[in-house]
Copies of this chain bind each other. A is one copy, B any other.
Amino acid sequence: MAQISTASTSVKHPRSKTRIQQENEERILLAALEVFSQNGFHGATLDRIASAADMSKPNLLYYFKNKEEIHIALLTGLLDVWLAPLREISADGEPTLEIGAYIRRKLESSREFPRESRLFANEILAGAPHIGTFLQTELKQLVDEKAKILQRWIDNGQLAPCDPRHLLFAIWSTTQHYADFSVQVRHVLGLPPGDKSYYTDAAEMLDTLFLGRLMGADDVP
């Protein structure tokens, strides 16, 4: 479920939030997540969001002053959740275990929050008009920090030499692919719409890819 509502989903109410206010904001954000993630920002209409939230459009606009504000509220609420798996990487752990666990967390995140993943993907594809500065500041800072840890592991000979940042890119892309491109994955595998069974094979593949030896495996049975 979406964590979303951080501190400031600033509505026109400076005072503390009512019970109804909190309920409705959550209902709206949930509905908006559904609609935005399916059709992108421009494909989503206030009418459809309102309808999905079982609410009239003017009522919806009583809680969020416009479409963009809903979108931004959704994105900002998402960012912390999105970065949580990376934050957990510890410098004190064993590289193999740490990276393996990170990949599993990321993949699990894709399976559990596919709509959030697609919302994020849509935003980036559109050029990150709303979270551009977040990428340049918070995300960059976190990546820099974790890249240092990875670099230390490389220097210790515990990890093959590579650009740590690009290693993260590879992890992000492979794991998020299963949420963002799920339609393609299912069609290629010949699976029905709701089927998410491919995640087990995916996990195995990513383990082999990132933790095992992919090529030149002479020790194959």
Interface residues of A (CB under 8 A from B): 38-43, 95-96, 99, 118, 121-122, 124-128, 132, 135-136, 139-140, 143, 154, 157, 159-163, 165-167, 169-170, 172-174, 176-178, 180-181, 183-185, 187-190, 198, 201-202, 204-206, 208-218, 220
Contact = CB atoms under 8 A, between A and B. Distances in A.
Contact of A43 (B41, B95, B187, B217): B41
A215 B212 contact: yes
A132 B170 contact: no
A213 B217 CA distance: 10
B205 A166 contact: yes
B205 A159 contact: no
A157 B136 CA distance: 44
B187 A128 contact: yes
B135 A220 contact: no
A40 B132 CA distance: 18
A190 B140 contact: yes
Name A's interface SS: helix
Contacts of A209: 162, 167, 170, 209-210, 214
Contacts of A178: 169
Contact of A184 (B135, B159, B181): B135
A150 to B, nearest CB: 11
A125 B122 contact: yes
B139 A187 contact: yes
Given A40-B42, A121-B181, 17 more contacts: A41-B43, A96-B216, A122-B125, A125-B181, A135-B183, A160-B217, A161-B217, A162-B204, A162-B208, A163-B201, A166-B202, A166-B204, A167-B209, A169-B202, A169-B205, A170-B206, A174-B174
A132 B173 contact: no
A95 B161 contact: no
A211 B215 contact: yes
A127 B211 contact: no
